[in-house]
Amino acid sequence: MLYFRRICGSCFTPNIINKRTSIWNPTYQDPITDKSELDLPLSEDDPRKYRPIKPLFHSDATTFFHDPVLITFTHMVMKDGRKDLAQRIMANCFEYIKRKQVKKWLACNSDEERKEIECNPWKIFHKAIENCTPVLKLMPATRGGITYQVNRGKGGKHFGICCKCQKYARFMAMKWLVRTCRIRGHTETMAESLGKELLDAFNNEGRIVKKKQDLHRQCEANKAYAHYRWK
């Protein structure tokens, strides 16, 4: 009997395990989360005119403070489902950036120098993500038993072709930031490490920007293999 369970258990067990399914019928449509689209009329062929709408997700909102990019980055910082800790880390990170920039602003002697200093941590965060976002990516292509690294994107070109490619490029920048900040000294907190990397990336400096430039340099070196992406 024990032998039968060892042999057949792996075959029959997956059939009785419940799979994850959505509680909403496929006819339910996603709600509008962008506040600028709420006042716009729906098109004539929009299914949201005659089909039921899903309720708003608990993490979505139509307020000014709702930022999908920041929410995604917070989820990437989170470990073991401790979202409250991840939100606290991001709040401390923004406070660290604010203190650093205000201190630099107070040390300026003229108004012209103060105008060049950005003290808004939200703008610094988005500019840093933009500076870290790569334009090209490398994909393996095997030809004749040899694997080449070919620079390619959606449709064999760069990331800017469609919104999905732009989201993936931004995801790569966020992943580089989080992974780099996890490798830090024992005397430095995660919030301080994130704050330093975001400030460096805002000034187009630091390890993440160098990683992006190295990727672009490698793509430039491997452009001789570009014809492999169509074969």
pLDDT in tens, 124-160: 999 999 999 998 877 777 777 777 777 765 444 444 4
* Separation between Cα atoms, residue 13 and residue 19, nearest integer Å: 12
Confidence category of residue 120, pLDDT binned at 50, 70, 90: very high
Query: Which pTM was predicted?
Result: 0.72
Sign of CA dihedral 115, 119, 122, 124: positive
Residue 64 has pLDDT above 80, yes or no: no
140 vs 83, 145, 150, CA distance in Å?
Answer: 35, 12, 6
Residue 208 has pLDDT above 70, yes or no: yes
Confidence category of residue 70, pLDDT binned at 50, 70, 90: very high
What is the gyration radius of the CA atoms in the chain, in angstroms?
Answer: 24
What amino acid occupies position 183?
I
Q: What domains are there in the chain, each with its CATH number?
A: 65-230 (1.10.455.10)
Residue 178 has pLDDT above 80, yes or no: yes
Tell me what pLDDT residue 164 has.
60
Tell me what pLDDT residue 146 has.
74
Residue 115 has pLDDT above 50, yes or no: yes
